Amino acid sequence: MKKTAYESQKEGRIVIVASEAHRVVYREGIHFDKINDRSSYYSILAYGQSKLANILHAKELSRRLKEGGVDITANSLHPGAIATNLMRYHSFINGLAGWIGKYVCKHIPQGAATTCYVALHPQVKGVSGEYFVDSNIGKPSSLASDAELAKKLWEFSLSLTKAE
């Protein structure tokens, strides 16, 4: 992407789908010391943790791209509540969501709107490190705004992916 942005003289955009579920997480946000601990695993909290990690990743990636003088933005977003089978392993919640969802959830094109906006709209040119909701800059949780937590997650991720 860096090479393409440089050669084309056009801004590159990285769009990371997160969720408002980033607000429902373990107390410390990311369970760094228990990342694979089955005894402390709760699916809803783990899902929220993964969405928090998406927002933190976008923020830290944005910071690093800016620091490197690269014309690439990185943003995260909440697509909205979309009628899907996301809660298929939580039968009661899935049933309730399916029944209520058809009245209050977005249709797939509506759910894709914010993703398309962040990826393509001229008003987002140069905007980086933000969290979007309904095609507007939103306010993520305090954990999702924590620059030190974002750096820690970046370093932790590197430590998990380095070849030995």
Query: What's the pLDDT band for 111 if we cut at 50, 70, 90?
Result: confident
* Amino acid 101: pLDDT: 57
The catalytic residue among 26, 41, 117, 131 is 41
In percent, the amount of the chain with pLDDT more than 70 equals 84
Burial 60-99 (b: 16+ CB within 10 A, else e): bbbbebeeeeebbbbbbbbbbbebeeebeeeeeebeebee
pLDDT interval class at 29 (50, 70, 90): very high
Q: In this model, does residue 83 exceed pLDDT 70?
A: no
Residue 132 in contact with residue 78, Cβ under 8 Å? yes
Rounded to a whole number of angstroms, the distance between the first and last alpha carbons of the chain is 27
- Mean pLDDT for the chain overall: 88
Please report the pLDDT score of residue 73 as a whole number: 98
- Assign 81 a pLDDT band (cuts: 50, 70, 90): confident
State how far the Cα of 112 lies from the Cα of 129, in Å rounded to an integer. 20
Among candidates 92, 76, 47, which has minimal Cα distance to 137? 76
Reply yes or no on whether 41 is catalytic: yes
Which pLDDT band holds residue 33 (cuts at 50, 70, 90)?
very high
C-alpha dihedral (73, 77, 82, 88), degrees to nearest 10? 100
| pLDDT of 65 over the 80 cut | yes
- Residue 103: the pLDDT is 58
Residue 43 clears pLDDT 70, i.e. is over it: yes
> What pLDDT was estimated at residue 97?
54
Average pLDDT of span 114-127: 97
Q: Does residue 127 carry a pLDDT above 80?
A: yes
Q: Which CATH architecture has domain 2-161?
A: 3-Layer(aba) Sandwich (3.40)
pTM (2 decimals)?
Answer: 0.86
